[in-house]
Amino acid sequence: MSSGAGALEQPGARRWASGALGVAAVLIALTALLTATRGSDTVSQALTPAPPPPPPAPVALISVQSGATEPINPMTPISIAVQQGTLRNVTVTDTNTGKKLDGTLAPDSASWQTKNPLSYGDTYQVAVTAVGTDTKVVQQSGSVSTLKPALQAYPSFIPAPSQNNVGVGQPLVVKFDHPVTDKAAAEKALVVTTSPQQTGSWYWISPSEAHYRPQVYWQPNSTITLAANMFGVDLGKGTFGQTNRTETIHIHDSWVAKADGKSETMQIFQNGNLVNTMPISLGSPGHPSHSGPHVISDKQPSIIMDSCSYGVCQGQKGYYKEKVDLDERISNDGEFVHSAPWSTGQQGDSNVSHGCVNLSPQNARWFFDHLGVGDVVEITNSGGPPLPIFDTYGDWEPSWEQWQAGSALK
């Protein structure tokens, strides 16, 4: 009985055992879940690489006259630049003079360049200090050379800067002491400004001489400035402009004398108004005066006129050599307006001179006192050929279209 009774389970005991088994199963499941989760983290962490260390800060890179492999034009500034840093100090020294050159630093301190033009055929020593973004100081030195021209062409002016008050017919003349091959380059460097504004153009008389005139005579009381920005300009075949020059001239009242070989009179106009008329004698049929506009290029109280200057020398027919007063040159071919007391009987009647405009002493004095360099003498009905453009100031003989065709920039 007792063994049978012992074999029987009590209902409460079965319930406790069943609950215990359920709790144990949950605990085992939770443990397995936690173990699995920790194992996954461990594998993930083992497979992810560590981030690389940051790169070092860049070192400053300095360049001197980047891209220049040959001597530079002296108008090209010496330039310094830095990448990945800033410039701390730049020194450029002229090795010929020992002088340090002034320069301009950019606002970001990343570049620097010289302020003023350099010299021909010179060498400049450069020393640069910069600080990189790595805070390290970098130093660099070098040299820059400038080209050496085979020839240097100097631009002289007519009228000269001292002759700064001229008439309405005065052309601007630039004469170079060496021929110019690249006329276009030279012409671009010749800058004319006028007040009031007037249209004008250059004409090359020869490879070394260029003239500038407006379309019509200058306006009275104009101001004209000529700038020859020639330094550093390549004029061709190894010739460069020697220097820059500037002049300013004033145009006074308009004085235009109209000499008529038919009426044998000369009318003189001031600013378009007739102010005097006087009898004249022009060149004889054997020595006719050139026709067309002439410009007074010089005036002298007296000169010695010698026919040998144009080939009629002592012992030949027509030779003369004598002192002549109140002379105003109107061409290089020996034509003047001057006093001629020996021909007063022919003045107003016939042409008997060797090409000059003959006046009585009284009229010559008036003319000499009122007209001067740059004023105009227009000769008509003389029987002579037009004044050649190359004869001092034959500039007004060509038409405006012909004149413009003489420009290298046409």
pLDDT band at 46 (very low <50, low <70, confident <90, very high): low
Checking if the pLDDT of 30 tops 70, the result is no
Residues 6+ apart with CB under 8 A from 300: 327
Checking if the pLDDT of 37 tops 90, the result is no
Query: Distances in Å between the alpha carbon of 31 and those of 18, 59, 198, 234?
Result: 20, 57, 104, 93
Q: Which of 287, 290, 294, 356 is catalytic?
A: 356
Query: What SS3 class is residue 323?
Result: strand
How far is residue 341 CA from its own chain's centroid?
A: 52
Quick: pLDDT tens for 224-272: 999 999 999 999 999 999 999 999 999 999 999 999 999 999 999 999 9
Residue 361 tokens read as 């002493």
How far is residue 49 CA from its own chain's centroid?
A: 65
Active site residue 338: yes
Active site residue 356: yes
Checking if the pLDDT of 5 tops 70, the result is no
Checking if the pLDDT of 67 tops 90, the result is no
Strand partners, 131: 86, 137
Judged by phi (left if over 0) then psi (alpha if -120 to 50, else beta), residue 292 lies in left
What are residue 5's phi and psi, to 5 degrees? Answer: -65, -35
Checking if the pLDDT of 164 tops 80, the result is yes
H-helix or E-strand containing 35? Answer: helix 11-47
CA distance 43 to 45: 5
Residue 218 identity = W
Q: How many residues does the chain have?
A: 410
Q: Which of 287, 290, 338, 354 is catalytic?
A: 338
Decide if 246 contacts 260 (C-beta within 8 A). no
Residue 332 tokens read as 């290089």
